[in-house]
Amino acid sequence: MTDHALSAPETGTTWHLAEQEDHDHGGNGATVLGFWIYLMSDALIFASLFAMFGVVSTSYAGGPVPREIFDLKLVALNTAFLLASSITFGEAMPHMEAGRVGPTRFWLAITGLLGLAFVGVELYEFSHLIAEGAGPQRSAFLSAFFTLVGTHGAHVTVGLIWIAASLVQIGQHGLIQPMKRRLICLSMFWHFLDIIWIGVFTFVYLYGVIR
Amino acid sequence: MSTEPYDAALHAHGDTHGHGSRLGYRIGSLLAIVLTVVPFWLVMSQDGPAPGWIAAVIFALALVQIVVHVVCFLHLDTRSEGGWTLLAFLFTAVIVVITIGGSIWVMFHLNTNMMPMPGGGHIGPVR
């Protein structure tokens, strides 16, 4: 976009071609498409973990079965936290596009707190299971459970670090164009994790309890 | 450069990643909440193993909710990035279905056929 400025000699005014916007947008689009491809490859990682869980989901090795160890009230609370955080991130985006720093940071911070609550509840659930003797080493079912749900939780944790870094960066630089691009990628990442969680709560928890 | 013309240009391109229509987003949020509450309610109102139709319903609701999230929150449509995001998504969906469905299908039959035969040491396909 550097060579697209025309100088009018008589006035000294610099005019920019309308195309310039296109070029800028093109760069954004390439990043978003690239990030989309990353999300799709991450979906394949989760697909293989779901497949593994599906294969060994009844291999209890004489250990506890889902109905005995899953507390659906806790899972419902967790699901509510993550879904709410997806919705609050959606609230931040129009403010970000309009360049309003305050509301963007506010909604992003709310999203981060809900995500933190999600990870907190999940860690509580894990520690509770391990204390009960239903740790990952107990049976193939539990190994697959901890791997699948733990991988999702690790992603959410990385998302939280990213949110915290974004909050700091917005404060330092304001909502400049590279910052907006990063936030668009972060919002895609966060919504993607909520979609994976739909699979987890349906396949692992709800189906596990009624089968 | 103020941000106003830039935003106008962005919207003029019909660009939808990261920011779809507010109405679509509100409808998506509402649908997502309903599609989450219903399966939890269905399962939590059961006591013990549930009939097969409940399992079918919660899986169907999950599929619908995934589509709602992808369309309303990730703003996937036929136009974004010239259709490449949609193409990548459909390709991924095919691979996901093959990976999960295929693994469970194959391993289920393997498990069934490899069961130790009663009264004999023979392990192999059931005849």
User: Which residue on chain B is closest to A37 by alpha carbon?
Assistant: B88
CB < 8 Å to B17, chain A: 29, 32, 184, 188
Task: Give every residue of chain A whose pLDDT is below 70, as ranges.
Answer: 1-27
Distances (CA, A) of A40 to A34, A81, A193, A196, B88: 10, 24, 12, 11, 7
Contacts of B59 in chain A (CB under 8 A): 202-203, 207
Output the pTM of the full model.
0.83
Average pLDDT of chain B to the nearest whole number: 80
- Model confidence at B79: pLDDT above 50: yes
Which ipTM score applies to this complex?
0.84
State whether A29 and B81 contact (CB < 8 Å).
yes
Best of B16, B43, B72, B80 to mutate (most A CBs within 10 Å, chain A) = B43
Q: Is the CATH code 1.10.40.50 the one for domain A20-210?
A: no
- Output B23 or A114, whichever has higher pLDDT: A114
Q: In this structure, are residues B77 and B87 in contact, taking their beta carbons and an 8 Å threshold? A: no
